[in-house]
A and B are shown apart, each in its own frame.
Chain A
Amino acid sequence: MADKLTLYGKEFDSRLLVGTALYPSPAIMREAVAASGAQIITLSLRRQSPAQQQGKILWDYIQESGCQLLPNTAGCKTPKEVIALAEMSREIFGTDWLKLEVIGDDYNLQPDPFGLVEAARELLKRGFRVLPYCTDDLVVCRKLLDVGCEVLMPWGSPIGTGRGLMNKYNLRTLRERLPDTPLIIDAGIGAPSQACEAMEMGFDGVLLNTAIARAQNPVLMAEAFRLAIESGRAARNAGLMLQRQTASPSTPTLDMPFWQQTINSGEES
């Protein structure tokens, strides 16, 4: 049975979304993205002079990648900045898709929930397909859905920390209370086991960058994340057993040899 990830009506086989930053080289980035199996990649816009070639190298890769592009608004602190950058992204990248970031705190890069809702409302009116990077707060997430977002991307933990799923209570609450909304864990994932756990919890996908790009072997780590996410998704679909407090033998106890001897031994003593 096909198990596709559907975002804004578009289907994807891969549930791993990856960033393109922080790699040792563009060549390793390309190889790692391929190894990850990702079909959605994030990128951004920054000031550049005509002499700088970074844009050209990245542009060449973008053209050949075949991936859905997901430009971000990283670093923006106000809806006005976001909207200008979003429009610039749409013109350059030719896509309405947008990873919406409105940063409310420089120290932990925590999303500003108020700016996020305001910006999302305006961007959706302008025809963008908004994937907001948000906190794991249920009410904020509901407000984002109310203004028309079809996908939410709650953080696992602050960007680049590698601390994994920091508030599992909140994340489980989101999953239980928003059962029909595609939820992608974005940011803070440091190890494949953490990504696997997110998928086992029922999240629809994981977006990450640093954990792959900063690995000693980014290509191998990209493959590890791909496998972890596939594994976690399969486990979720298979249905995890319920945890219990006391032990329960898995080997049949009926017809256990020596049983009688044990009783006899007990009688003798």
Chain B
Amino acid sequence: MQLLVNGETITVNPGDTVSALIQQLGYRGETFAVALNGDFVPRAHYAQVSLSAGDNVDIVAPVVGG
């Protein structure tokens, strides 16, 4: 199934969790955070939250800011 991750189309297996997506994309460490369809997903929930076709996932990391 297909998702939008940071605005780009990504194909994952049906029923995949946020945890599986993070692993598939290669994110490491704790310097990123995830929102699913605009709602924050706490790190502790990654393994329990399943993804659906058409979901919108944002994965953010620290940047400079004013």
Binding site for B on A (CB under 8 A): 19-23, 29, 42-50, 52, 54-56, 58-59, 62, 71-72, 74, 80-81, 83-85, 87-89, 91-93, 159, 209-210
Contact = CB atoms under 8 A, between A and B. Distances in A.
Interface residues of B, number: 26
Interface of B: 6-7, 25-28, 30-35, 38-40, 42-43, 58-66
A72 B63 CA distance: 10
19 contacts: A29-B64, A44-B64, A45-B60, A45-B62, A47-B6, A48-B59, A49-B6, A50-B28, A71-B65, A72-B65, A80-B38, A84-B35, A84-B40, A85-B60, A88-B35, A88-B40, A92-B32, A92-B61, A93-B62
A191 B3 CA distance: 47
A92 B33 CA distance: 7
A210 B33 contact: no
A35 to B, nearest CB: 17
A84 B35 CA distance: 7
Nearest to B61: A55
Nearest to A23: B64
A123 B32 CA distance: 21
Given A21-B65, A48-B6, 17 more contacts: A19-B66, A23-B64, A29-B64, A42-B65, A44-B63, A45-B60, A49-B6, A58-B64, A59-B31, A72-B65, A84-B40, A88-B35, A88-B40, A89-B33, A92-B60, A92-B62, A209-B66
